[in-house]
Amino acid sequence: MGRAARAVARALRETLLTIAALGGAACIVLVILAFAGGYSLVMFKTGSMSPTIPAGSVALVREIPAGEVSVGDVLTVDRPGSLPVTHRVTSVAAGPSAAERVITMRGDANDVEDPLPYTIERGRVVVGSVPHLAHVIVWFGSPWVLGGITVGAALLVTWAFWPRDPAPAEPRRPKRGRRRAAAAGAIAVLIGILLPWAPGRAAPATAVEPDSTRDALTLHSDLPEGGPHPLDAELPLHWHLHADATAAPSGGELTLTIEGRGDPLVGVAAEVRSCDDPWSAGECPSGERLLRSAVPIAVDGAPSELLRTPTPVRAHLRIALTARPDAEAGGDEQIELTVRASAAGEHRETGTGELPVTGSGPAGLALAPAAILIGLGAALVAHRRRGRRREGER
C-alpha cells in the first residue's frame, strides 16, 4: 500500500473510531443522568398531547416528588398493570399522606379529563421533546438494521486492531492502541444502550378495498388482510377504519364493536379515537375524541362496543394496538381482532389477522459484546499468524 493510500485509510479509521467514541461517551453521559439525575426518555404512541407533543415524539422527563407537581405541568404517571400516561395536570389536591398528591390530568387533544384521578408520590415532568424521533428508534428495531449494526461494529473493531507492518518513514503513535481500545469499548456501550430502546417495527399498512359495495353501509380497513401484524409494548400499531353509513335512513344507528380471540398472554390493549374527518399521517384534522382508553381487550370472543351514533353518518376511527408491557417478544402467542359494523339492517366486518408480539428481546442485548468479541478475536488470530510467519522467516 502506498503512502497516500495508507494515510487515507488511517484518517478514515481514526474518524470512524472517534465518532464511535463520541457516541459511546454521549451514551455514558445519558446513563449517568438517568441514575444520578432521575432523567429518562418517554416515547409517545398517541396524539393525545397534540399539538404540543405529537404522536411519534420522544420526550426527556425528570422524576420529581409529588409536592413539586404544579397545574400546567406535562407529567408522566405510572399505572400498575398498564403503560404510563403522559398528560397535562389540571388540578392538584392533598393526598392520603404528606408525600402524596391527588391529581387530575387531560391530554391537550382531549375534550374531557382522564376518567379517574391519580394518587402519586412521584411523577416524571416533561423537560422537552423531539417530534418523530420515536420512528427512528422503531427503525433501529428492524432485524436488518440490528444485524447491520452488529456486523459493522465487528468490522470496525477488526479493522482498528488488525496488525499492520510498521511504516519506517512515519513516527510511531504509542497512544493509538489506547484510543482503539477506548473506541471499542465505546462501540459496545453505544450498541448496548441502543438495543434496549429498539422495539420491533410493525408491518406497514396499505389501503384495501371495502369488503362490500352495498350503499347502506361500507367498512374500510387500512391493514392488509391476513397479517401477521407484529405488536410492540411501546409504539402502537395504528389501525384506521372508515365506516360510511350516509346512505342509511335517518333515525337509525351505526354501531361498531370489537372482539378478540386468541392467547390472553399477549394482553393486547386498544385505545380508540374518532375523528370528524379522515385521519391523515396519523393525525386528526379536526374533532378528535377519545372513545376508549388503552385497556386490554378480552379474548373470549365477546363484543365490546366502540361507537354508537345516529345515521346517516360517517365514522373515522383510529385503533392504537399495543402488547402487554411484559409480553415476551418472539413467542408463539398471538390473537386476532375483529371489528363489526351494523346499520340499516346490514352488517360488515374486518379483522387484523394474526397479531404476534415482536421486539429485540433478551437475545438482542448479546449483540453488543458479540460484535466486540468477534472483532477482537479476528484481530488476535491475524496477529498470532503474522507473528508465527515472522518467526519462520528469521
**Which residue, chain included where needed, has cell 390472553?**
264
If asked whether residues 15 and 157 sit together in one domain, one would say: yes
What CATH number is associated with residue 126?
2.30.30
Q: How far apart are CA 219 and CA 212, in angstroms?
A: 7
Query: Could you tell me the maximum CA-CA distance found in the chain, to the nearest angstrom?
Result: 100
Q: What is the pLDDT of residue 345?
A: 83
Give the Cα-Cα-Cα angle 60, 61, 67 (nearest 5 degrees).
160
If asked whether residues 281 and 334 sit together in one domain, one would say: yes
Contact 48, 83 (CB under 8 A): no
Q: What is the pLDDT of residue 386?
A: 59
Q: What is the pLDDT of residue 213?
A: 38
Give the end of a domain, one of 102, 130, 158.
130
Amino acid at 354: E
**Which residue, chain included where needed, has cell 385505545?**
271
Give the domain range for residue 279: 218-356
Give the end of a domain, one of 130, 147, 173.
130
Instruction: Tell me, yes or no, whether 222 lies in a domain.
Output: yes
Instruction: Tell me, yes or no, whether 277 lies in a domain.
Output: yes
Instruction: Tell me, yes or no, whether 162 lies in a domain.
Output: yes
If asked whether residues 253 and 319 sit together in one domain, one would say: yes
Q: What is the pLDDT of residue 318?
A: 93
Q: How far apart are CA 91 and CA 23, in angstroms?
A: 41
If asked whether residues 297 and 348 sit together in one domain, one would say: yes
Q: What is the pLDDT of residue 179?
A: 53
If asked whether residues 27 and 165 sit together in one domain, one would say: yes
Q: What is the pLDDT of residue 212?
A: 37
Q: What is the pLDDT of residue 267?
A: 74
Give the end of a domain, one of 130, 158, 182.
130
Q: What is the pLDDT of residue 275?
A: 92
Predicted model pTM: 0.46
If asked whether residues 18 and 156 sit together in one domain, one would say: yes
If asked whether residues 328 and 380 sit together in one domain, one would say: no
If asked whether residues 229 and 341 sit together in one domain, one would say: yes
Instruction: Tell me, yes or no, whether 53 lies in a domain.
Output: no
Backbone angle region of 381, left / alpha / beta, with phi > 0 → left and psi within -120 to 50 → alpha: alpha
Tens place of pLDDT per residue across the chain (394 aa)? 567 777 777 777 778 767 767 766 777 777 787 777 788 888 887 778 888 998 888 889 999 999 999 999 999 998 765 668 899 999 999 999 999 999 999 989 888 888 889 999 999 999 999 988 877 776 766 666 766 777 776 776 676 666 665 555 555 554 555 555 555 555 554 445 444 444 433 333 333 333 333 458 888 888 876 566 777 777 788 889 999 999 888 889 999 999 888 877 667 888 999 999 988 877 888 888 998 888 888 888 888 899 999 999 999 999 988 887 665 544 556 778 889 999 988 888 888 766 655 544 444 445 555 555 565 566 566 556 655 665 555 5
If asked whether residues 325 and 380 sit together in one domain, one would say: no
> Nearest CA to 23 among 207, 164, 152?
152
Q: What is the pLDDT of residue 373?
A: 58
Q: What is the pLDDT of residue 65?
A: 94
Q: How far apart are CA 86 and CA 376, in angstroms?
A: 44
Instruction: Tell me, yes or no, whether 46 lies in a domain.
Output: no
Instruction: Tell me, yes or no, whether 191 lies in a domain.
Output: yes
If asked whether residues 258 and 335 sit together in one domain, one would say: yes
If asked whether residues 321 and 338 sit together in one domain, one would say: yes
Number of domains forming the structure of the chain: 3
Instruction: Tell me, yes or no, whether 105 lies in a domain.
Output: yes
If asked whether residues 237 and 307 sit together in one domain, one would say: yes
